[in-house]
Amino acid sequence: MKVYKLETNPGIYSSNAYLILGDWNKLEDINALVDTGSDPFIHGHIKRINTGVGKVQLDKIILTHTHFDHIGGVNTLQKMYGCQVLAYTKYDEKIRLIHDGEILHLGDNYFEVIHAPGHSSDSICLYNKSEGILFSGDTQIRINSTDGTYTPEFVNTIKRLAELKISVIYPGHGDPLRENPEGVIQNTLKTIEQSRIYNPQVKNDFFNSSQTKNKKFNYAFSSIE
Ligand SMILES: [Zn+2]
């Protein structure tokens, strides 16, 4: 499998966009894009890559979530290539819904869809077991401070990622993480387990109660330990 981090428009705030191809550009390989970035700028780079003779340059677009900086180029690229667009929410007519645990054929390999709520409720990660590749979208992989507050859903997401064998993480922003990705996730899990966990049910009680402000704050956040 080959993964290209595509050049995005330096003048516009954009997520990363990754092109996945098979090693030998076989006819049966699925040329797939993970996120499009903010605009169709990446099209120029896709054109310069050898995506296989007699093959559609782009078969599928998979969105890690539907924030504007990840999906801005979808409509134009979809029209250009006539490709399928897959996402966890049907924010548009053309979306083909994907669900947790679904296996997707991308490039010359297979990826599992991992629903990863936290950054947004529709966030997913894509995981390839045989090569240990994780596309993490905007899921916060590296957390070093216990000052933050996290939802139980996010803690659960990190717990699931911490069980995977990973050799490289391709994030939604910044450079690929090749150095000890599993250690980074383990450290993040440890850190958030020592942080405050947001509990929406307790927050409602907080607004309805007549406790002192300080006490209310303690009710609103509880450590998971
Ligand atoms: Zn985002």
Question: Ligand 1 centre and the CA of 119: distance in Å?
Answer: 7
Q: What is the mean pLDDT of the chain?
A: 90
pLDDT category, 198, cuts 50, 70, 90?
confident
Question: Ligand 1 centre and the CA of 214: distance in Å?
Answer: 33
Question: Ligand 1 centre and the CA of 125: distance in Å?
Answer: 12
Question: Ligand 1 centre and the CA of 15: distance in Å?
Answer: 8
Q: How far is the C-alpha of 123 from the C-alpha of 66, rounded, in Å?
A: 8
pTM of the full structure: 0.88
Position 27 scores a pLDDT of: 95
Which amino acid, 106? L
pLDDT tens profile 39-63: 999 999 999 999 998 899 999 999 9
Where are the chain's structural domains? 2-194, 199-225
Task: Decide if domain 2-194 falls under CATH 3.60.15.10.
Answer: yes
Question: Ligand 1 centre and the CA of 67: distance in Å?
Answer: 5
Could you list the beta-strand ranges (E) of 63-147. Answer: 84-87, 95-97, 103-106, 109-115, 124-128, 133-137
Q: Cα–Cα distances in Å, from 178 out to 30, 55, 85, 152, 175?
A: 25, 31, 28, 28, 9
pLDDT category, 224, cuts 50, 70, 90?
very low
Give Cβ neighbours of residue 84 (< 8 Å, ≥ 6 apart): 59, 60, 61, 96
Question: Ligand 1 centre and the CA of 157: distance in Å?
Answer: 16
- What single-letter DSSP state applies at residue 40? G
Query: How are beta strands 221-223 and 2-5 bridged, if at all?
Result: unpaired
Question: Ligand 1 centre and the CA of 65: distance in Å?
Answer: 7
Task: Give 3-state DSSP helix, strand, coil % of the chain, rounded to 5.
Answer: 25, 25, 50
Question: Ligand 1 centre and the CA of 138: distance in Å?
Answer: 5
Question: Ligand 1 centre and the CA of 68: distance in Å?
Answer: 8
- DSSP run (H or E) holding 202: helix 200-208
pLDDT of residue 215 exceeding 60? no
Question: Ligand 1 centre and the CA of 184: distance in Å?
Answer: 20
Burial of 164 (0-12, 13-18, 19+ CB in 10 A): middle
